[in-house]
């Protein structure tokens, strides 16, 4: 659908980039607190002795994984924007004869 659509204006690309970053950062701040409460509830709940061990080492990994997902959600567009800006180098077509 968007295969033939190319952003060729730095102002348009910058606005898309800023809006996307705002949305991702807002999602992180709005979702991190409820997810922390949810994981604290899981870790504090009485799950019995059979599941207490795996729960204590599994939940920090899940929290770390969610932080990595949010970090990659921010790092990918930053990398795209930097590479996009520097890929538009001028070409003077000066050849040696």
CB 14 within 8 A of CB 78: no
**Boundaries of every domain in the chain:** 10-84
Q: Over range 6-32, report the average pLDDT.
A: 86
**Entry pTM:** 0.65
- Give CB contacts under 8 A, 24+ apart, made by 27-31: 27/70, 28/70
- Express each pLDDT in 48-67 by its tens digit: 665 666 777 788 888 888 88
Output the CA torsion sign for 64, 67, 68, 69.
Answer: positive
Q: Print burial letters for 21-41: b (CB count within 10 Å at least 16), e (below 16).
A: eeebeeebeeeeeeeeeeeee
Nearest to 10 by CA among 86, 90, 79: 86
Q: How far apart are CA 74 and CA 77, in angstroms?
A: 6
Segment among 6-15, 47-56, 79-88 with least mean pLDDT: 47-56
């Amino acid at each position: 659908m968007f295969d033939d659509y190319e952003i060729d204006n730095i102002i348009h690309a910058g606005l898309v980039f800023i809006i996307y970053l705002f949305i991702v950062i807002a999602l992180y701040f709005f979702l991190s607190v409820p997810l922390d409460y949810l994981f604290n509830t899981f870790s504090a709940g009485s799950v019995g002795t059979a599941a207490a061990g795996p729960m204590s080492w599994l939940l920090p990994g899940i929290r770390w994984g969610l932080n990595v997902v949010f970090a990659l959600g921010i790092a990918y567009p930053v990398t795209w924007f930097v590479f996009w800006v520097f890929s538009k180098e001028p070409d003077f077509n000066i050849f040696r004869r």
